[in-house]
Structure 1
Amino acid sequence: MSPSAPFLNASEAASQLGVSIKALRLYEQQGLVTPGRTAAGYRVYGPKQMDRAGEIVALRALGLSLAQVARVLDGDSRSLATALATHESALNEELQDLVQKLDRIRCVRADLARGQMPVDGELTRLVDRARMSVEFALPWPWGGERFELRDIRPLNYIIGSLGSGKTRLALRLAETLPGAVFLGLDRRRNNGVAALDLLNGDASLKSRVDQAMDWLIDEGATESRALTTLLAELEADGPAALVVDMIEQDLDAATQEALITFLRLRASAGMRPLFLMTRSSAILDLAAVGPDDAIILCPANHSAPVRVAPYPGAPGYEAVATCLATPEVRARIARRPEATAGEATICKPQARALRDP
């Protein structure tokens, strides 16, 4: 950056770096970057701070935890070498995919030269963005309306008030999406297999879970059986998509925040789609929703579920915001996930506070 570059306020700096203001504050809290201050006490970012913050953003994009970022910035090369090796592997996979698509294009062009038109679906596969779509008739409590979800994102949040039908929507998604698995509140797959059973006899999976756990602990998470269970599913091979019932269950607030950071980093690397039922504002931070995220709202009046844009004033935004729990309520949910009389206060009062069917 030029020495004559202007000093930026927090909003301008975050926009230029492509991160949220909350992320900049987190970097500051961790001692990774120290902004300047105006005479009035406002944070400002000059050339040196922006260069430093840019390095942090790049290291985070490589999948490093905040603790690993700090070590790399202090000169430790081991964490960086591991992250670069992982990134190289992902790029190689992308390259192989592009080579295969290029081969298909050449085959189609050769067929055209011989007067043969592409077979049904061939052109679609050539320009496929590799994102799923799904369509089905909505179950009860809806009236069988057609529901269509196109351009499925890596992270999909399912939210709604009590009794809105979000659990039934999640189950139908898991039934309809090819190769999808539903993970219920007891953390068993829809075929009855317990998530922790996946670790038995699978040294490779255990190693991946241990690495993920170490990363999350670096981010401030608390190790627990609930977190290990989730990681076993997230790291397991096989499912083409994973649908998780109330992902925040039995996780404290700091662990929820670390987990969603972990998942967002994975999403940017092209992971399989996740559908996360949630009422937690740590899991669904509306200010942090990006291009890899989608919000699916099940309205309280049982009209068809809709995708909601993450900005104030968008249709459905206020309904989503009112269904997200405060940190205090999140802590209570983590201690006792089952429905209680007080749980109805998480969303605006309903005429009937029914538990999701």
Structure 2
Amino acid sequence: MSDQIIEARGIQKFYGQYHALKAVSLSVGAGEFLALVGPSGCGKTSLLKILAGFEAPSDGSLRIAGQDMTGVPASARPTRMVFQKLALFPHKTVAENIGFPLMLAGKSVAEIRASVGAMLEMMHLKESYLNRYPNQLSGGEQQRVALARALVSKPPVLLLDEPMSALDAKLRKSLQAELKHLHRNMGTSFVHVTHDLEEAMMLADRICVMRAGEVVQVGTPADIYYRPADAFVAGFIGETNLLPATFTRSGNAVRFDCPQLRCTHPLLAATQVSETLTDRSGLLMIRPELLRILEPGESADCLISGRVSEFFVRGGSLQYRVTGEGDTTLILDLPGTMALPLGVGDPVRLGCGTADLFAMRG
């Protein structure tokens, strides 16, 4: 059997004249955590519903656990789904909600009781909650019950449609850690739709970035963050600096010319150039945390001069906005400190290594 638990090939989806998914191909490995991200309307939830069996593709093929899913209803698929609104049964107790999939599968009362108890412990829910109803639980407790119901039958694939989007920031952080722990210990493949980009970076083994019904890039969090396919991915996954530049092939390397950036050796290795860069002009990317403030007389591979236009204190970090040549605004991220190193209007020299640059199409 293939080590890919999900194999989607050329998935198309039309809603009337609206083309929601455009020949999407995507694989998910056994035991992998894949995050689907992208702007609203990009097709990620439509893709998740097709995986779950709640929507049928207009074209293309889908195999899950080696089986063709054509015509297979959601109830018969080796998947379970946690919805954005959780969809707990309001008239059923916590015990009945968690045990419902096992009841449908014809498990004995003793088996259901044992499995519900095990899930209760795994989700850090008190035994006294078993006879409560969803409206008697907090948002975080309801979230845990929904996860327990989805996982109680030990499905090979768990699908999550932004289940933590309505929670406050502190609770969301706590549940993110629990979700990571669950995935690490259960061996279930997770496919997680989220608008929270930090959440995707924290949790996922790989991230799939979508735009307008198409897959733009699939890669590890490090790939997506430091080696984005294009400016859309670079700007979508965190704040960054993108500078116009021209590029010339020079053997296995690429020579660049960027008016805002003075570099002693303006050469990029092949690994620092996106495969999508086919034109002579494009963009150079420098992530804000890779820039540093240069002391007087200190040198760097690449240099940018400017003045501080604004700064933001974020507790554990500082962010500076620096206006450079040609009114270019650069973002600089620094570790937090009691004493601010710079104020608005201060001149500053920023430096970075050539190895910190990445070239892509605009």
TM-score bin (small chain)? 0.3 to 0.5
Report which of the two has the higher share of strand: 2
* TM-score normalised per structure 1: 0.43
| Structure showing greater Rg | 2
* TM-score normalised per structure 2: 0.42
